[in-house]
Structure 1
């Protein structure tokens, strides 16, 4: 006979598993989308051919850091959901990198006049970093 707490635990684990799979898929898709551009830009920047595109390369690199962090967080969520963990389901460093990458991209967007997108990116990055910090402290 199954109890309510067991059903809630199973539902929570499945939700964590689903969110993790979604995050991992989005992270992998982002990494695959940005990788060809970075592979093209980095050698050109090193040779000095496209030095004027340094900010674009930094912007794309920060998005790559964001998507890799999202991929790692998604994989960790899938593992935590499969193991039915309730606490410490995502390593903190992953979320700090995710939040920091969003904040750096937000400041780069702000530099080029995209105020609304910059505000959203900085706000979301700050919230992600704060949530990870607050769960470690409490």
Structure 2
């Protein structure tokens, strides 16, 4: 994993406040961050307290932008954003353990991650709970 300057995590509603993300969307002919979730790919998933949150990530100008959707508004964003920030940080292995890739291991406080490619998810257990 290369070292990046910054990790920025946004919910879908506040993602338009990021100049860098808006510039990326414009350069890729997207009108809003919701366009990152459309198409043929399935987004990655985060499970907290038995609720799934979908998210996507993009790299643009040495920054990782992570956008998530909380359709049920169950979380105030702090837990989601902390976990996603830590997952995309250079020291993510301090907070996550790789699990065997089967859905039985996708329990509470886990991330199912494909990085936008392929059909197989890698399961990462968040250990700082």
* Range of TM-score over shorter length: under 0.3
In the superposition, the TM-score normalised over structure 1's length comes to: 0.25
Considering only CA atoms, is the larger Rg found in Structure 1 or Structure 2? 1
* More helix, by proportion: 1
Give me the TM-score of the superposition, normalised by structure 2: 0.26
